[in-house]
A and B are shown apart, each in its own frame.
Chain A
Amino acid sequence: GDSVTQMEGPVTLSEEAFLTINCTYTATGYPSLFWYVQYPGEGLQLLLKATKADDKGSNKGFEATYRKETTSFHLEKGSVQVSDSAVYFCALSPSSGGGGNKLTFGTGTQLKVEL
């Protein structure tokens, strides 16, 4: 079945550091790929998405590129801020089947940004 593997946390960075959170997936066909973020005390929010190979999703300075050849969707940000501290989830939605937009999530990566 479908699966998502993302790097384990916690990841601790200084403000303005470069961020990479690795994500790889296993799925048939061409799934849609997502990054969701969960800030402390809040629900999951969509951060960015990409729906086909070589698409780049971007939002709030974060970027991720859908790499079909390496089945990856790594999250990057050039300069993190304290306000980026949260748990980040990589997820996929299958391109076919009856499950609507059923999401398969990775285990999440906690990011802590310090001054």
Chain B
Amino acid sequence: DTGVSQNPRHKITKRGQNVTFRCDPISEHNRLYWYRQTLGQGPEFLTYFQNEAQLEKSRLLSDRFSAERPKGSFSTLEIQRTEQGDSAMYLCASSPRDRGRVGNTEAFFGQGTRLTVV
């Protein structure tokens, strides 16, 4: 399987605990994105990496959230001191470099990690 892989698929945690999610992008893709999707809503952008550099973070990404992409390969998203409002599906996507025009290449999504904070 050469698609985007996310682990775990499901995570249930108690409020206040820390959680970490992993994303393995398509190997030749240099861009990696994290999104959050709540029930009945579209995905919302959280952060973006080009290789190992984190180039943009959304205002949705509070201080309790941190993302890394060491060596420009897999990425992790950590949520510290989880709150019930963090319950959502966390999606990872990757894409190759733009070919010509900015913003026209396809993003490939993983199946997501569903987080439930109880």
* Among B50, B56, B109, B112: residue with most chain A CB under 10 A: B109
Tell whether A105 is near chain B: CB-to-CB under 8 Å.
Answer: yes
Residues of chain A within 8 A (CB-CB) of B43 are: 44, 89, 103, 105
Interface residues of B in 75-118 (CB under 8 A from A): 91, 93, 95, 98, 101-112
State A69–B65 Cα separation when bound (angstroms): 40
Contact A99 B109 (CB under 8 A): no
Q: Tell me, rounded to whole Å, the shortest Cβ–Cβ distance linking B50 to chain A.
A: 6
Q: Tell me, rounded to whole Å, the shortest Cβ–Cβ distance linking A94 to chain B.
A: 6
Tell whether A61 is near chain B: CB-to-CB under 8 Å.
Answer: no
Residues of chain B within 8 A (CB-CB) of A52 are: 101
Residues of chain B within 8 A (CB-CB) of A42 are: 111
State A96–B98 Cα separation when bound (angstroms): 12
Contact A45 B103 (CB under 8 A): no
Contact with B along A92-115 (1 / 0, CB 8 A): 011111111111111110000000
Q: Tell me, rounded to whole Å, the shortest Cβ–Cβ distance linking A89 to chain B.
A: 5
Contact A93 B56 (CB under 8 A): no
Contact A49 B33 (CB under 8 A): no
* Among B55, B98, B106: residue with most chain A CB under 10 A: B106
The answer to whether A45 and B41 touch (CB under 8 A), given A94-B103, A100-B50, A100-B55, is no
Tell whether A22 is near chain B: CB-to-CB under 8 Å.
Answer: no
State A89–B93 Cα separation when bound (angstroms): 15
Tell whether B74 is near chain A: CB-to-CB under 8 Å.
Answer: no
Tell whether B48 is near chain A: CB-to-CB under 8 Å.
Answer: yes
* Among A4, A46, A99, A108: residue with most chain B CB under 10 A: A99
Q: Tell me, rounded to whole Å, the shortest Cβ–Cβ distance linking B9 to chain A.
A: 11
Contact A107 B42 (CB under 8 A): yes
Contact A93 B42 (CB under 8 A): no
Residues of chain B within 8 A (CB-CB) of A89 are: 42-43
**Would you mind naming 18 contact pairs between A and B with Cβ atoms under 8 Å apart?**
A32-B103, A42-B111, A43-B91, A44-B43, A51-B104, A93-B103, A95-B101, A96-B103, A99-B48, A99-B56, A100-B56, A100-B98, A101-B98, A102-B56, A103-B45, A104-B45, A107-B40, A108-B40
Enumerate chain A interface residues (CB-CB to B < 8 A): 4, 31-32, 36, 42-46, 49, 51-52, 89, 91, 93-108
